[in-house]
Chains A and B, each alone.
Chain A
Amino acid sequence: MTVSGIIKRIGGVFLVLLGVMLLIFIMLRIIPGDPVSVMLSEHVSQETIDRIKISMGLDRSLPAQFFSYLKGAVRGDLGESYFLKEPVVDLIAEAFPYTLKLAVFAALIAWAFGIISGMICAMFNNSFPDYLFRGLSLFGVSVPIFMVALCLQYLLYFKLSVFPLSYDGSFGSMVLPAIALGWNSAGSVARLTRSSLMEQLGSPYIDTAMAKGLSYKGAVIKHAFRNAMLPIVTMMALQFSGMLSGAVITESIFSIPGIGKLALTAIQTRDMPLLQGTVLFTAFLIAIGNLLADVLNALLDPRISVS
């Protein structure tokens, strides 16, 4: 990757983040009626509304509001939560470690299972294990996450009482949420590993490796696997940033106080600054994930010089 390529790419990230900010900002302010009265569910006097409006800076013109928000965001200030009366940044910083822990755990389980089963499928194509894991991975991509979570709670907590029902800070209570969150990812990684590895197994360089004296297994591990990993690594980077930002359902079912739960609280308490802040933060994570995927690809594949 050349320097100008990197600069261009990072510039693109900023442009997209600016767009996200603008989009969210506009969407949260084109509410029919007035944003403050939407935030306050019960009837309050016009006086109170005006007071809150001024305290949140909502009395100024939209561009002025946007630029002051933008200025704050650049300095790391996303405003104050209306409901929890705390800076949004602090709330995010508090919630993020939980989400991170969950995502790391989920990713490890999902990828280990996905890659191994995908490899087995590709190497023993059209055999019983292939059909078995292909069937499983299909369930992986099609079963809704809440169904996975509820089934896990029913089986492993209620019937077998192996794991706790919801998050209590212990390691064991992270297992069920991690499986639920990783479920879809495991399915798609397995499917991609299978197709990518099968494509590489048909490549002539595998014949070369075997003609050199490597066994089939050796050729797969030393040559095909690394080539097959290229698209999978991209997918993994995107999945991980997705897990960090999209665990709303898992966190709500297992009551984990992470980012997703925070966003849900924000919408339930009609806390506009908090919702705005969490959405922006997750968009930032996704953008970083995309960037990371590109960088990893450039590092692993000598053929990519400029992205």
Chain B
Amino acid sequence: MIKEPLLEIKDLSVSIKKADGNIPIIKKVNIVIPRGTIVGLVGESGSGKSMTARTVNGILPPKAVVTGGSVIWHGKDEKDKDLTSLKERELRKLCGRGVSMVFQEPMTSLNPLMRVGDQVSEVLLIHGLVKNRAEARKKVVAMFDEVGITEPDLRYNAYPHQLSGGMRQRVMIAMAVICEPELLIADEPTTALDVTIEAQILKIIRNMCTARNMSALFITHNMDAVAKLCDEVYVMYMGRVVERAPVKEIFDSPAHPYTRGLLSSIPAIGNSPEYLNTIPGNIPEIKKETKGCDFCLRCSDDIRKCFFESPKEVMTGEGHYASCHILEDKLK
């Protein structure tokens, strides 16, 4: 069954402007988010996954500029428009209402001087979805209850520092879904939390998406969370999507050596500590232009071609694509 797409990221390239030329941080990325689907975006820190998400709602850092490609939106408002070329005012109207975002640090992502309830009400008021503050408050309290905040009426008046990390992240989720958006972007929402809280938060996101037929772009470096939450997975490495597949495919038959590395880095119970697998090396320093496969320096079985040519995407299974010369050779 092919689902109708909600968001299509096409050949997106983003660079950081520097005095001595631009440094590409996202290189021709293609991602499709179908309606009602949770898409996972996986990769190490610095792989460009957050930047990809930030391009969608236009909150890239000042020095980052879109150098090519488009982000096509198929939602209700601003239908079939390219979000990267949308006017600032129109984009802001869409943000919070059509596309909303949950950030990594619930500690600093909330304004420390404002009551959390008011911060959530603000979204409703910005988009004119309620008539007055009293109505906003009622809606917010109901939403707090839904995301599992105990004593929602009392918590409405709390300041961020009075809440625990898990509670703050629930507030962020309430803020993100209160306008019933079509797409929720969650940028490593559980990285700063305890494992037990993480499971709860993931469950809330899952429930929210199913209940509202909402799509989500879930960014993480945690393969475990991907397995629990996502329908489809994109793996990014150094600003490129190196593999994409339905979630089951990724775990059953990872094709790209990087994905295999990521998966084997998850420690399993029963393995002795000596078998804690890692991917050798670090992400190399991002330079202006690179030749060949970005992963070749850390790959265990590279061939000569890897150093000179960028690999093309090849299909390795149903809906399963990877960019790797070795796979290409094998499939021939």
Contact = CB atoms under 8 A, between A and B. Distances in A.
Nearest to B105: A204
A204 B108 contact: yes
B103 A207 contact: yes
Contact of B111 (A205, A210, A211, A216): A205
A203 interface: yes
Interface stretch (A92-100, A188-196, A299-307): A299-307
B126 A303 contact: no
A272 B247 CA distance: 87
Contact of A213 (B54, B112, B113, B126): B126
Given A223-B111, A226-B113, A211 B57 contact: yes
B170 interface: no
A261 to B, nearest CB: 42
A118 to B, nearest CB: 19
A264 interface: no
Nearest to A207: B59
B126 A212 contact: yes
B92 interface: yes
Contacts of A222: 122
Interface string B90-117: 0011111100110111001111111000
A214 interface: yes
A301 B112 CA distance: 8
Most buried by A among B57, B59, B94, B175: B59
A111 B59 CA distance: 32
B251 interface: no
Contacts of A226: 113
A227 B119 CA distance: 14
Contact of A203 (B93, B94, B108, B114): B108
B174 to A, nearest CB: 12
Interface string A207-221: 111111111100000
Given A207-B59, A303-B161, A213 B110 contact: no
A213 B111 contact: no
B79 interface: no
B312 interface: no
Contacts of A301: 112-113
Contact of A212 (B95, B108, B112, B159): B95
Given A209-B111, A213-B97, A302-B161, 4 more contacts: A205-B108, A208-B172, A210-B95, A213-B94
22 contacts: A204-B109, A205-B110, A207-B109, A208-B101, A208-B110, A209-B111, A210-B92, A211-B59, A211-B101, A211-B176, A212-B122, A212-B123, A212-B126, A213-B96, A213-B97, A213-B123, A213-B126, A214-B92, A223-B111, A227-B111, A227-B113, A303-B159
Interface of B: 54, 57-59, 88-89, 92-97, 100-101, 103-105, 108-114, 122-123, 126-127, 159, 161, 172, 175-176
Nearest 5 CB-CB pairings of A with B:
A213-B96, A211-B101, A302-B159, A212-B96, A204-B109
